[in-house]
Amino acid sequence: MPSDPAPDPDPDPVAAQPATDTRLDYRRAALSETDVDQDPITQFNRWLAEAATVLEEPNAMTLATVGTDGRPAARMVLLRAAALKGFDFYTNRQSRKAADLAAAPWAALVFHWPPLQRQVRVEGPVTPVPEEEADGYFALRPRESQLGAWVSPQSQVIPDRAWLETRLEEATRRFQGAPIPRPPHWGGYRLRPQAIEFWQGRPGRVHDRLRYRQAPESAGGWLMERLAP
């Protein structure tokens, strides 16, 4: 009989612990091919509306990009609209994500709606939102956010918080009593989905996954496939 392996002389006390003791079993709902809309954008907006009934920011999504060094980076952004044209978000066009998208104009989005035990993944090429649409959206933003867009050189190293506050005071004075135009470095990006996957948690980790993708054989439409969990 082989003897038991010798105990690890230097066990890592952190690695030995699970990250959390939570073992949530997913029992809220199921997802079947007959439940979902044939159009994934309609299906997405349906799930988003349901998420809006239980979450403050259901439009918060992880945006993953790839840098010029080939390495991924991910951060949260807010979805502005999901429509036929694509999934729109707004940001600083001199930010790290903008530099990534300039070099590799393709991204992945992830929505996670824990109270519904749902995840949606979206992938596709990204292009800038047309300038006039960006102007229209910027004009709708609260004045405070408009000022913020002017003062923050997003993703750059800055000396300290006070430096930012000083710039904010300067911008507040500069635009006093006047409408605030969209800064040239601020705008939108539009991800045109080529694949959208809907994930519904199920008991025993035997989840439901339905993926729509635009495939050569789907002739401009969407092909729906079930993926193993």
Identify the residue among 47, 87, 89, 111 touching ligand FMN (CB under 6 A): 89
Residue 209 φ then ψ, to 5°: -135, 120
Residue 97 binding ligand FMN, by CB under 6 A: yes
| Residue whose entry in the numeric block shows the structure tokens 């495939």 | 215
Pick the catalytic residue from 118, 205, 213, 226: 205
The 3-class SS string of 3-42 reads: CCCCCCCCCCCCCCCCCCCCCCCCCCCCCCCCCCCCCHHH
Q: Measured from the CB atom, is 57 or 170 closer to ligand FMN?
A: 57
Identify the residue among 49, 78, 103, 206 touching ligand FMN (CB under 6 A): 78
Distance, CA of 80 to CA of 102 (rounded, Å): 20
User: Can you tell me whether residue 152 is helix, strand or coil?
Assistant: coil
The contact mask relative to ligand FMN for 156-195 (x = CB under 6 A, - = no) is ----------------------------------------
Burial class of residue 203 (count of CB atoms within 10 Å of its CB; 0-12, 13-18, 19+): exposed
Has 205 been annotated as catalytic? yes
Residue 73 binding ligand FMN, by CB under 6 A: yes
Residue 59 binding ligand FMN, by CB under 6 A: no
Q: Which residues are catalytic?
A: 205
The residue ranges that bind ligand FMN (CB under 6 A) are 57, 60, 73, 75-78, 89-92, 95-97, 154-155
